[in-house]
Chain A
Amino acid sequence: KAGVTQTPRYLIKTRGQQVTLSCSPISGHRSVSWYQQTPGQGLQFLFEYFSETQRNKGNFPGRFSGRQFSNSRSEMNVSTLELGDSALYLCASSLRQVATGELFFGEGSRLTVL
């Protein structure tokens, strides 16, 4: 059974650019959630999509957005990048919503903003 796949694994952008990250969940999983991890703030919840609908959203500015497609694959987008957006971005898939579903994480996308 294939795991959660995130692409790209590494990327470098400059301030003001935008970035799109992709997450392919485990087959059959309807929940995809996104997280930001930085040395200073630790792991923080970005948002969760379940059956193509955003169910939950963390405390992040509107520059952070996402969507989920009918095949459950999800993308997140960060517009107008800032230096502080440099982080490891992780996604996780689950059969149920994050509060009660076992999470399966991808390897993450490491974003560096210069």
Chain B
Amino acid sequence: KNEVEQSPQNLTAQEGEFITINCSYSVGISALHWLQQHPGGGIVSLFMLSSGKKKHGRLIATINIQEKHSSLHITASHPRDSAVYICAVPDYGGSQGNLIFGKGTKLSVKP
């Protein structure tokens, strides 16, 4: 059964800083999800990736299948990036099964 670890749990940054959030898992997977949750509850899917790198605006996600590790980067951070970032993977790896979630990284970007 997969185990997922996220780091750091909390992160405070100044506006404009480059931010990295990490996610490690224990069982090989078909795809990994990065999610964003703003205060108030709504969750938005940022990326789903199975290999390499994806970019959307100031957000970049990378995944290393061999090392079972993914990173989410935010360039030129802004206060509106303040949110909880959560990674999720299939519980038994592969392309079937439930999703399990990291505990989340709470990001606060100060102006």
| Chain A interface (Cβ < 8 Å from any Cβ of B) | 33, 37, 42-45, 48, 55-58, 88, 90, 92, 97-105, 107-108, 110
30 A-B pairs with CB atoms under 8 Å apart are A42-B103, A43-B86, A43-B88, A43-B101, A44-B101, A45-B91, A45-B99, A45-B100, A45-B101, A55-B96, A56-B97, A56-B98, A57-B98, A58-B98, A88-B41, A97-B96, A98-B90, A99-B30, A99-B94, A100-B50, A100-B95, A102-B45, A103-B35, A105-B42, A105-B44, A105-B45, A107-B41, A107-B42, A108-B41, A108-B42
How does the 8 Å CB contact mask read for B19-40 relative to A, with 1 for contact and 0 for none? 0000000000111010100000
| B98 neighbours in A (Cβ, 8 Å) | 45, 48, 56-58, 98
Q: Could you tell me the distance between the alpha carbons of A105 and B46 in the complex, rounded to whole angstroms? A: 11
Are B101 and A42 in touch, CB under 8 angstroms? Answer: yes
| Interface footprint category on B | 20 to 34
Are A99 and B41 in touch, CB under 8 angstroms? Answer: no
B76 at interface, CB cutoff 8 A: no
